[in-house]
Amino acid sequence: MLLIVAYVIILASSLGTYAFHGSLLALWVPLEYVAIVGLTIGYFVGANNIGVIKATVGAIPGILKGSKYNKAYYVDALAMLFEILAKVRKEGLMSIESDVENPEASAIFSKYPNIVQDHHVIEFTTDYLRMMVGGNLNTVEIESLMDVELETHHHEAAEPGHVMSNVAGAVPAFGIVVAVMGVVNVMGSVGSPPAVLGKMIGGALVGTFLGILIAYGFVEPVAKQLEQKAHSDSKIYQMIKMVLLASMSGYAPQVAIEFGRKTLPSHDRPGFIELEEELKARKGK
């Protein structure tokens, strides 16, 4: 939503102020718009493989709505992990084997449908719980494996932002290309009246204007939003990692949950007392 607001401000600041002393019709050079958009799309397609293209196109709509990883989601995730670890503490690791193998049918996981529907989060959680059940890896080995997986995940999640940033860097150059094409056209009409030449030169310069405006006013904000969203969405995995590693190190479920809570961003992190009361309330249901 903020992106739409930003676009309105940008257009009002650029076109609105120009309208006070110039004609907006002078900026309407349709072929230059078509050329810049076409060059930009061509660069985007030519510079990336099909997987990256699909990931980028799929990620863009997500920045127009709020992240699902909010305070309520984190509380649910911590409560779910607490229930799992409490069951392990009481009944042993083998007691969660069926929960891990089929989370949709699990009495614990099924209480949290918003998490079960999150394929990546539930897969990350159950994969490492399965390793804990197997008992063949120690804490150091699992932490190392987690770090490798998270690095891969973060790289993939950040790729759309990097792609859009590269596109933003190329668009001003395409604006110059279009402007040069316009100047070449002007040079072929040197004998025309000054009024005609002036209009043609102005039209050529629109290409430079469009390239810079589109790059830094429209594409670069999308790139920054994608980068920030990728960074924000990675916190859930760090939280799960810390909880599971703390449990493997022998800490009680209440303490392991606190390890995870501390990794969350401050604006979405539940307070210690708040989380404790929430866990007690859910336990009583």
At 134 the pLDDT is 78
Q: Which residue has the higher pLDDT, 223 or 23?
A: 223
At 150 the pLDDT is 93
Residue-wise pLDDT tens digits, 117-171? 999 999 999 999 988 887 777 888 899 999 999 999 999 999 999 999 999 999 9
Sequence-separated contacts (24+) of 58-66 with Cβ below 8 Å: 59/160, 59/226, 59/229, 60/160, 60/222, 60/226, 62/229, 63/3, 63/222, 63/225, 63/226, 63/229, 64/1, 64/3, 64/4, 65/1
Q: Is the pLDDT of residue 197 over 70?
A: no
Locate the domains of the chain by residue range.
Answer: 2-65+158-233
- Determine the Cα–Cα distance for residues 179 and 175; give it in Å rounded to an integer: 6
Beta strands in 119-233 (DSSP E): none
Q: Is the pLDDT of residue 196 over 70?
A: no
At 27 the pLDDT is 80
Residue-wise pLDDT tens digits, 29-62? 888 889 999 999 999 999 999 999 999 999 998 8
At 285 the pLDDT is 57
Q: Is the pLDDT of residue 259 over 90?
A: yes
- Determine the Cα–Cα distance for residues 35 and 246; give it in Å rounded to an integer: 56
Please enumerate in sequence order all residues whose Cβ is within 8 A of that of 132, keeping only pairs 6 or more positions apart, or say none: 88, 93, 142, 244, 247, 248
Q: Is the pLDDT of residue 191 over 70?
A: no
At 221 the pLDDT is 94
**What is the pLDDT confidence band of residue 284, given thresholds at 50, 70 and 90?**
low
φ, ψ (nearest 5 deg) of residue 265: -60, 145
